[in-house]
Amino acid sequence: MKNMPKNHKTLNDSYITVFPEGVDRFVFGQFSLQGKNLELEGVDLKSVQEVFKGKYGPSHIDIAWHTQSNNYTNILFLVYWLHVEDYIQWKDSLIVKKWIEEDGYKQCSSRVTGFWYEMLKIPVEYFESSHSGNSGKEGVSNFLKMQLSEVHEYWGAMRDRIPASAYDQLLSQEINKQKKIYGDETSSKKLSITVPDYICFIRTVQNLSNVSEEERQIYAEVMEPVLDTGIKFLSDKLDSCIDIKKVTEMSPNKDELQITSVLAYFKSLSALEKWAASHPTHLSIYGTYFKILKMQEGKSDISLWHEVSVLKSEDVETYYCYCQPDTGLLSSFTHKKL
């Protein structure tokens, strides 16, 4: 471990996920509906759920929503496949091809006007996860084993948990965001984009499902505003953050869960590390969390976890059907018409 201090001792337990032998890549994706002023209760998700059924369907699905500019709401299916081969079989199946090619989103609601996905074929060597508990119900841990890890509680631990960092510097190409594009350039077209090598994706999650009302109130009043300030800075001010959104998770029946995810792309792992280690907005997040822990005598029922991937261009597959220009990665790279 290149960054671990000598004689390092951890103060709190942390867990990582372990992939079975023979699995060298897996899939995570955002498969999303989009529409203006969407009322969740008015959107029928059955057609999407049917698309995911079958022998080669996802290993796990989370569902979430968020609202972007101009009151456009996205309903996201956060999907995982343990085996890339299963994902390919699923994607090539007749039901999936027909749903995508014939604009199956139209079956969900007249207010759903677009559909998009960003699918990541993630090399295990370029992936790490960190979990404050071992519930086995968090991201890839829904279908992978977990084990206790000593590789945490120091700057650089995230990089050390990525196996490829032992032999690859994970250096990104220079990224110049494209000029702002307008709705009529994207909302009437089917598009895709190509990303450069070594961009970094993070999903970081705050789960308050098993938290007391008192701790939930402290989180809402003390922690959440600081987290939101950090997200706003990354979204508005930091060019090396390519795209970021905070989403609220929900059940398949659309009941809101006490879980939020922050989904973000950075131009490189180094860009994410630099913000995390030195910028006041992240240091405030970090400090506020430990301030709350101290207030609660070191005890918390909040479950925190994240997954980080470093991706090559060929690992990222995108599709945007009649979407707004600030959807996902669409606004950051030159798009091509399909």
* Tens-place pLDDT, residues 3-55: 999 999 998 899 999 999 999 999 999 999 999 999 999 999 999 999 999 99
* Mean of per-residue pLDDT scores for the chain: 94
77 close to 32: Cβ distance less than 8 angstroms: yes
Whether residue 139 has pLDDT greater than 60: yes
User: Could you state, in order of their start, the residue ranges of all structural domains in the chain?
Assistant: 15-337
Distance CA 209, CA 216 (A): 9
pLDDT band at 177 (very low <50, low <70, confident <90, very high): low
pLDDT above 90 covers a percentage of the chain that reads 88
pLDDT of residue 335: 87
Q: What is the 3-state secondary structure (H, E, C) of 58-120?
A: CCEEEEEEEECHHHEEEEEEEEEECCHHHHHHHHCCHHHHHHHHCCHHHHCCCCCCEEEEEEE
What does residue 323 show for φ and ψ, rounded to 5 degrees?
-105, 160
* Tens-place pLDDT, residues 255-303: 999 999 999 999 999 999 999 999 999 999 989 988 888 888 878 899 9
pLDDT of residue 176: 57
The arithmetic mean of pLDDT across residues 178-199, rounded, is 81
Cβ atoms within 10 Å, residue 291: 14
* Tens-place pLDDT, residues 233-260: 999 999 999 999 999 999 999 999 999 9
Region label for 316, one of left (φ > 0), alpha (ψ between -120 and 50) or beta (otherwise): beta
pLDDT of residue 122: 98
66 close to 245: Cβ distance less than 8 angstroms: yes
* Tens-place pLDDT, residues 76-92: 999 999 999 999 999 99
Residues in Cβ contact with 27 at an 8 Å cutoff, skipping those fewer than 6 apart: 79, 80, 81, 84, 87, 119, 120, 121, 122
Whether residue 182 has pLDDT greater than 90: no
Residue 169, CA distances (Å) to 8, 164, 166, 268 in order? 23, 8, 8, 11
Distance CA 318, CA 32 (A): 11
pLDDT of residue 180: 55
pLDDT band at 175 (very low <50, low <70, confident <90, very high): low
The arithmetic mean of pLDDT across residues 216-245, rounded, is 95
Q: Is 128 exposed, middle or buried (0-12, 13-18, 19+ CB in 10 A)?
A: buried
**Residue predicted with more confidence, 180 or 218:** 218
